[in-house]
Amino acid sequence: MLTHRDYERLCHEIWHHSKLYYVDHAPVISDEAFDALYKKLEELEAAHPEWITPESPTQRVNEALTSGFPTVQHAIPMLSLANTYSKEELQAFIARMHKLVGHSNVIFSVELKMDGIAITVRYEKGVLVHGVTRGDGKSGDDVTSNLRTVKSLPLKLIGDAIPDLLEVRGEVFMPHQGFDALNKQKEAAGDELWANPRNAAAGSLKLLDPREAAKRPLEVVFYGIAEMHPHPLATQHACHHYLAELGLPTLPIVAQCASFDEIWAFASRVHEARRTLPFDIDGVVVKVDSIRDQKRLGYTGKDYRWAVAYKFAAEQAVTRVREITVQVGRTGVLTPVAELEPIFLAGSTISRATLHNAEEVARKDIRVGDTVVIEKGGDVIPKVVSVNLDKRPEHTHPWRMPQECPCCGTPIERDPDEVAIRCPNRDCPEQIHRRIAFFASKDAMDIDTLGTKVVAQLIKHGFVKNPSDLYRLTEQQIGQLPGFKEKAIANLLTSIDRSRQVELSRFILALGIRHIGVGTAELLANKAGDMETLAKMSKEELMRIEGIGEIVADAVIAYFRDPDQQAEVQRLLEVGVAPKSVAVVVYDGHPFQDKNFVLTGTLEHYTRNDAAKLIKERGGKVVGSVSKKTDYLLAGSDPGSKLDKAKELGITILDEESFRKFLDN
């Protein structure tokens, strides 16, 4: 039976993979695997609604904002699409639409599912006003200056039927030809190559200098209308033709289908042709064609009811395992990796695949010399799916995790509560390397020009062993590194010095405390306010923080009780690292104190996170579902079933105006 601790672990796992996909643009599992985790979480929350918090992955659209860009609130929320992976699931969606619409003569618009970055672009009187990323679905990053450099995006609409206001939804992407040319330039310059076109498009769109963005071969395509005045169109299919008449780039392959058989035939044709297209797609999108029916069907809170994405299965290839090596992580976790005979798959040459852990290797019985099926969906790191036992060479042996760390020779240890096997030696050179690289990374201390190769050289020369040693580096030491001349030395020292002034949440993250990610570090920083308070917090105090469970609390306590960790934090403070304290405002005696809130619907003046924060500051608690213990329901537009249940139970219902008045009490 799954416990609350299992629930917390699942939430952490999903947020981790969400960050890898939406923020780092470097996912390590397939979309199908992610959706399976998400479905498991939904089922768990349905069984235990009391566990749900506003921080649950099910309570928001999983795409984070990027620092450095102004934030713009979407006039119309940018919701996601539900995913299907089988013929049966797609058939079930069609049957559901027939039932919801009320007849079986529903016409569907079927389109390509672009593998790019979702955006919304607004025109007023035919002139481009702004372009915004999806962000968290409520607001996104204003990337107008970068979008203006995309040659296929018109700055002014054309035609005789230009609306007074038009907001269109689409996708920024990088065609294969441009992607290949960009990687050749990076290779010539000795820079790290992009893994795939989607990563390259995401990185290019988020460049802070539009002049640099203009050098990237980005394109854009539009497939939907979020808002238009006047709005004379009756169908989704008509939108494509109308947008094209205005001079906007549209999807090259669309169709109207009157039955499931027609939809399936379209999807099959697209699947066959996908590798001949000049850009990446990962499936097809099926939408109820009637805009009137779309508006009537509405959305569930995060997905449109009238649309679904049918995603193609991950691509597979057959190759051979040359060797199984072991990689040492920054916390000492040993991860087996399959070294493969190189093979081209889904746009790139694959020579390595993670095997995750020793139990996974044993479960699939993967051995050196085996012929294996590997899988890679779009921009996902490949994995070994299965072994062809018929082709297994004679005299092979099951693989076993080494009993000593392959880097430092220390006997390994296994925590009985975890699958992970670790090297317990914190002085292990590989752990030191990865800890310092993580400390300097963008989400943590953000030390420019201090990449993994530079860190490796600093360790090799004996200049750095702990993060605090970075702040004692001299010009003479850095000058001994390969490729470092006067300007490069000055740039690195300036970047290190600049990082001394750092937000508290970034500093907490940089310390590398186990189970602490970006979001958890922010929760700890907001509650503690400063490092001294955080270091002294008890387990009970930590677990009272909304979103912090027993696993995280134990990890924080263990970190600050470790004399070596205490000494390193002190050294960092002594060399001038000054985490900026967070001012925590709590309103004692407020009417919200000790009251349970449920939020539902779309709020006009607040995001859900903002409203939840205001409630918590005043001593209230936000929960995910309505029950007899609920004191208030804060209801926006389109509130759904939670409003009905609150009325049945006689719970006090607040609209935004009432909520604002309460805030000032």
Asked whether residue 4 carries a pLDDT value surpassing 70, the answer given is: yes
> Is the peptide bond between 70 and the residue preceding it cis, with omega within 30 degrees of 0?
no
Which range, of 17-31, 483-497, 616-630, averages the lowest pLDDT?
17-31
Q: Is pLDDT above 80 for 584?
A: no
90-99, 376-385, 393-402, 502-511: range with lowest mean pLDDT = 376-385
Q: What is the pLDDT of residues 265-285, one digit of tens each?
A: 999 999 988 888 999 898 999
pLDDT of residue 656: 85
Q: Which of 354-358, 498-502, 504-508 has the lowest average pLDDT?
A: 354-358
- Is there a contact between 132 and 146 (Cβ–Cβ < 8 Å)? no
Specify the CATH superfamily of domain 596-663. Answer: BRCT domain (3.40.50.10190)
Residues 6+ apart with CB under 8 A from 348: 195, 196, 376
**Taking a C-beta distance cutoff of 8 angstroms, is the pair 307, 298 a contact?**
no
User: Highest-confidence range of 58-72, 306-320, 585-599, by mean pLDDT?
Assistant: 306-320
Read off the tokens for 135: 């962000």
Please give the residue that has the higher pLDDT: either 637 or 339: 339
Average pLDDT across the chain, whole number: 87
- In this model, does residue 66 exceed pLDDT 60? no
Return the DSSP state at 134.
-
Dihedral over Cα of 597, 601, 603, 607: its sign = positive
Side chain identity, residue 494: T
Report the phi/psi class of residue 576: left, alpha or beta, with left for phi > 0 and alpha for psi in -120 to 50.
left
Helices 31-47, 4-18: inter-axial angle, 10-degree rounding:
150
Greater model confidence, 42 or 610: 42
> What are 447-483's pLDDT values in tens digits?
988 988 899 999 999 999 999 999 999 999 999 998 8
Do 197 and 117 form a contact (C-beta atoms < 8 A)?
A: no
Amino acid at 59: Q
Q: Are strands 421-422 and 501-503 parallel, antiparallel or unpaired?
A: unpaired
Distance from C-alpha of 550 to C-alpha of 11, rounded to nearest angstrom? 13
Say yes or no: domain 78-311 is CATH 3.30.470.30: yes
Respond yes or no: is residue 113 known to be catalytic.
Answer: yes
**Type of residue at 131:** G
More confident residue, 443 or 166: 166
pLDDT band at 377 (very low <50, low <70, confident <90, very high): low
Q: What is the pLDDT of residue 313?
A: 82
Q: How far apart are CA 14 and CA 31, in angstroms?
A: 12
Sort residue 201 into left (φ over 0), alpha (ψ -120 to 50) or beta.
Answer: alpha
Rounded average pLDDT over 510-526: 84
Q: CB–CB of 18/61 below 8 Å?
A: no
Q: What is the distance between the terminal CA atoms of the chain, rounded to a whole angstrom?
A: 44
Class at the top of the CATH hierarchy for domain 429-580: mainly alpha
Least confident of 1-10, 23-32, 204-213, 490-499: 23-32
Range with the lowest mean pLDDT among 63-67, 200-204, 527-531, 550-554? 63-67
Please report the pLDDT score of residue 195 as a whole number. 72
* Residues 544-565 as b or e (16 or more Cβ within 10 Å = b): ebbbbbeebbeebeebbeeeeb
What is the Cα–Cα distance from 201 to 198, expressed in whole angstroms? 5
For the segment 239-262, what is each residue's pLDDT rounded down to a tens digit? 999 999 999 999 999 999 999 999
For residue 122, the tally of other CB atoms under 10 A from its CB is 20
The answer to whether 4-59 and 596-663 have equal CATH topology is no
Compute the chain's Rg from CA coordinates. Answer: 27
Rounded-to-integer distance, Cα 20 and Cα 38, Å: 15
In this structure, what token pair is assigned to residue 473? 């580096």
DSSP 3-state assignment of 483? Answer: coil
| Domain 4-59, CATH | 1.10.287.610
Unique residue bearing structure tokens 């590997």: 374
pLDDT at 23 over 80: no
- Each domain of the chain, given as residue ranges in start order, spans 4-59, 78-311, 315-414, 429-580, 596-663
Residue 101 has a pLDDT of: 94
DSSP class of residue 592 equals: T
Lowest pLDDT segment from 358-367, 425-434, 472-481, 639-648:
639-648
- Give the pLDDT score at 341: 95
Average pLDDT over residues 74-87: 89
Per-residue pLDDT, 119 = 96
pLDDT at 613: 74
- Please give the CATH superfamily to which domain 315-414 belongs: Nucleic acid-binding proteins (2.40.50.140)
Cα–Cα distance between 246 and 159 in angstroms, integer?
5
Within the chain, what is the greatest distance between any pair of CA atoms?
A: 78
Phi, psi of 559 (to 5 degrees): -65, -50
Measured distance CA(181)–CA(218) in Å, rounded: 12
Axis crossing angle, helix 550-561 with helix 4-18, rounded to the nearest 10: 80
Q: What is the pLDDT of residue 54?
A: 65
Average pLDDT rounded to a whole number, residues 528-546: 90
Q: What angle do CA 377, 380, 383 make, to 5 degrees?
A: 85
Which tokens sit at 305? 């009811």
Higher per-residue pLDDT: 26 or 659: 659
Give the model's confidence band at 614: pLDDT under 50 very low, under 70 low, under 90 confident, else very high.
Answer: confident
What was the pLDDT predicted at 45? Answer: 87
* pLDDT the model gives residue 22: 63
pLDDT tens, 414-450? 877 667 789 999 899 999 999 999 999 888 998 988 9
* Rounded distance between C-alpha atoms, residue 97 and residue 424, angstroms: 56
pLDDT of residue 378: 47
Predicted local confidence at residue 108, as pLDDT: 98
- In this structure, are residues 217 and 184 in contact, taking their beta carbons and an 8 Å threshold? no
In this prediction, residue 609 has a pLDDT band, given cuts at 50, 70 and 90, of: low
Residue among 40, 87, 113, 661 flagged as catalytic:
113
* Pairing outcome for strands 165-173 and 219-229: antiparallel
Tell me how far apart the alpha carbons of residues 478 and 454 are, in angstroms, rounded to a whole number.
9
How confident is the model at residue 379, as a pLDDT? 45
d(C-alpha 289, C-alpha 139), whole Å: 27
In the sheet with 652-654, reading across from the earlier edge strand, the strands are: 621-623, 596-600, 632-635, 652-654
153 pLDDT more than 70: yes
